[in-house]
Amino acid sequence: MICELCGKDVTFLRKVTIEGVQLQVCTECAKFGIEAKKEAPKEAATLPIVAQRLESRERRGKPTDVYDAGGKDELADDLGKRIRDARSKKGMTHKELAMKINEKVTVVSKVETGEMRPDDRLVKKLERELGIKLKEKVPETLAGKESKSGSLTLADHIRMQKGNEND
């Protein structure tokens, strides 16, 4: 048997890949190549895919997807409380307010308890009737920009916890 690389006549040949070319070579020449049977383990092939998915998941999870950058009007978190406070200041019952804005009593009470998110039309009616604001501008800093130096990262929290343990 002739080695395809050096031409030596040997008793047995090994299948190797040298610089991308499959050759049948002698034991000596086989040292320069990669044995054909030793394929890359499956794990090595799937790892980059896992890494890619993790990366894209991270991108998806960023708050930039939740808010549009630049700030916009959002319903106030405490909108139910604002309505209740304004209503009781005016001495109105659920029913009286509901009648004034031409809505059902259940709608008013559900919005106050946060059970229901009012649509724009209802928000405008409530704002006008009660003389309050139920929407507020979301500041740009909270609207998905990269965290500023002042805010804590997960690493900071871990460091702080470790610090406390040592105390």
Which positions lie near Zn ion, rule CB under 5 A? 3, 5-6, 8, 25-26, 29
Smallest gap from Cβ 54 to Zn ion, in A, equals 45
Give first-to-last CA distance, the chain, whole Å.
Answer: 74
Determine phi and psi for 110, rounding to 5 degrees. -70, -35
Smallest gap from Cβ 11 to Zn ion, in A, equals 12
Nearer of residues 26 and 111 to Zn ion, judged by Cβ: 26
Smallest gap from Cβ 13 to Zn ion, in A, equals 8
State the Rg of the chain over Cα.
35
SS3 25: strand
Beta strand residue intervals within 41-98, DSSP E: 73-75
Nearer of residues 13 and 143 to Zn ion, judged by Cβ: 13
Nearer of residues 18 and 101 to Zn ion, judged by Cβ: 18
Smallest gap from Cβ 16 to Zn ion, in A, equals 10
Nearer of residues 3 and 108 to Zn ion, judged by Cβ: 3
